[in-house]
Amino acid sequence: MNKLTRVVVTGGAGYIGSHVVLALGEAGYDVLTYDNLSTGNRDAILSGELVVGDLADKDLLIKTLTEFNPAAVLHFAASIEVGESVSNPLKYYRNNSVNALNLLEALRVTEIGQMIFSSTAAVYGNPTQLPVTEEASLQPINPYGASKLMTERFLSDLALANDDFRYIALRYFNVAGADPETRLGQDYANPTHLITRALKTALGIFPQLQIFGTDYPTQDGTCIRDYIHVADLAQAHLDALRYLTSGHSSTIFNCGYGHGFSVNAVVSMAKKVTGVDFPVVETDRREGDPAALIAGCERIRKDLDWRPRFDDLEVILHTAWEWEKKLATRDA
């Protein structure tokens, strides 16, 4: 077996991780998912094998890495809710920063020198200029962003100190949508993301959708986000992996399309795609939310030759809607 085709994916049973595991499998990679299944689902792993384990369990991590001997690790496992990170910050510093440190120590012990890291646009905080490029100042305004930024720092310091360690950090903007063949999608017990909440409201699972804040300094007063289709993000990981394993230096890429939509615009599109005029109420701002985030995405398009295929809010909503209807049938 050519070692270059072997990869370990932490958090491969989660929403984004599972789409990447599927794409890796389709591209011919031999994948091992390491996941504690705290939020992920065993059924979402459509390629390769699963080790059920926690990143806090360093012995199991080292044993798994030693036995599988991958060329690279893709690290997704993390807590991901901005609002929750404000009310329970230590959970975020433990799951996102401390556990990442464990993983990096395990990579040093096992001499694995390549990593792709799931970072976030939340590292920018409230950017002063939009679109926000990779060089913008890093001033997270919530513990979620700070916990991810801490890991970026671990990575850059480690790479500086060791020629045999290189990494790519991918800063995701707002990931949404589902596998266009409806094999996978978001499947959490208590989803908090806007698009998922809107679609579940259209299905009657939630009584109403809340709009968190209408007094932001944006055109319609609601927050603006750069929604990126999960299948395009999965492709970005494959492109990044190829770039890293072909010997390029450590780097960081924003993952977004370079344009944004307001919460109101997303709600209108959700109503159009579902055909349901679901109830919406305007409420106070949610703590920790920046007003607008739009990716500067020149670098990923140029360096990785990344070619997104689903840069269309209607397509994002449509694929997510197909998935939500499938989930509703499953759970009925």
Q: How far is the CB of 246 from ligand UFG (least distance, A)?
A: 28
Name the one range near ligand UFG by CB under 6 A: 8-16, 52-60, 66-74, 209-217. 209-217
Cβ-based burial of 281 (10 A; exposed 0-12, middle 13-18, buried ≥19): exposed
Residue 85 within binding range of ligand UFG, rule CB under 6 A: no
Residue 211 within binding range of ligand UFG, rule CB under 6 A: yes
CB contact at 8 A, 177 and 320 = yes
Q: What is the rounded distance in angstroms from the CA atom of residue 312 to the CA atom of residue 298?
A: 18
Residue 144 among the catalytic residues: yes
In the stretch 23-62, what mask flags binding to ligand UFG with x, by CB under 6 A?
----------------------------------------
Nearer CB in complex with ligand UFG: 107/255: 255
Q: What is the rounded distance in angstroms from the CA atom of residue 151 to the CA atom of residue 123?
A: 11
Q: How far is the CB of 263 from ligand UFG (least distance, A)?
A: 5
Site for ligand UFG in 142-181 (CB under 6 A): 173-174
Rg (C-alpha) for the chain, rounded Å, is 19
Name the one range near ligand UFG by CB under 6 A: 11-19, 43-51, 65-73, 208-216. 208-216
CB contact at 8 A, 132 and 121 = yes
The per-residue b/e assignment along 73-110, b for 16 or more CB within 10 angstroms, e otherwise, is bbbbbbbbbbebbbeeeebbbebbbbbbebbbebbeeb
Residue 121 within binding range of ligand UFG, rule CB under 6 A: yes
Site for ligand UFG in 266-295 (CB under 6 A): 286, 289, 293
- Among 7, 80, 199, 270, indicate the residue that binds ligand UFG (CB under 6 A): 80
Nearer CB in complex with ligand UFG: 133/210: 210
Cα 326 to Cα 33, 39, 184, 235, 277: the distances in Å are 24, 19, 10, 24, 20
For the chain, the 3-state helix, strand and coil shares in percent, each to the nearest 5, are: 40, 20, 40
In the stretch 226-265, what mask flags binding to ligand UFG with x, by CB under 6 A?
-------------------------------------x--
Q: How far is the CB of 78 from ligand UFG (least distance, A)?
A: 9
Q: How far is the CB of 213 from ligand UFG (least distance, A)?
A: 6
Q: How far is the CB of 97 from ligand UFG (least distance, A)?
A: 15
Name the one range near ligand UFG by CB under 6 A: 95-103, 193-201, 235-243, 321-329. 193-201
The CA dihedral of 58, 61, 65, 68, to the nearest 10 degrees, is 150
Find where tokens 């607008």 sit: 292
Q: What is the rounded distance in angstroms from the CA atom of residue 172 to the CA atom of residue 228?
A: 8
Nearer CB in complex with ligand UFG: 7/263: 263
Residue 193 within binding range of ligand UFG, rule CB under 6 A: yes
DSSP class of residue 44 equals G
Q: What is the rounded distance in angstroms from the CA atom of residue 265 to the CA atom of residue 211?
A: 11
Residues that bind ligand UFG (CB under 6 A): 80, 82, 120-122, 173-174, 192-194, 197, 209-212, 223, 225, 263, 286, 289, 293
Catalytic annotation, residues: 144
